[in-house]
Amino acid sequence: MDRLAYILNNIILVLEKSSENNWSEELRKFSKDYSELKTPNEKNIFQRKLLNIYGGMGSFSDLVLYKDNNLMYEENCELDTLREELFKELKKSL
């Protein structure tokens, strides 16, 4: 498993642990798509598409995890770290 897949899988685990089903499902689709890439061009297109989740209102960057109206501090810290790692990994590869 390469670095990008590793980070994606860890983000999915944090999201699932936090019952954030919408984003975990979306990132699961990205993870599946990533595992099926064959050419460098496909990888480049995929990375640009995945970077798009960081922009705009209601984006992945805006996500804050709550459970029963309580902020999930540790999970949010972990998510922020992984989110930043994913962004850097995507930018590095372009």
- pLDDT attached to residue 1: 74
Expressed as residue numbers, the domain containing 18 is 3-93
Adjacent-strand bridge partners of 70 = 67
Tell me: the pLDDT tens digits for 46-90?
999 999 999 998 999 999 999 999 999 999 999 999 999 999 999
Instruction: Quote the number of domains for the chain.
Output: 1
Q: How confident is the model at residue 93 (pLDDT cuts 50, 70, 90)?
A: confident
- pLDDT attached to residue 94: 82
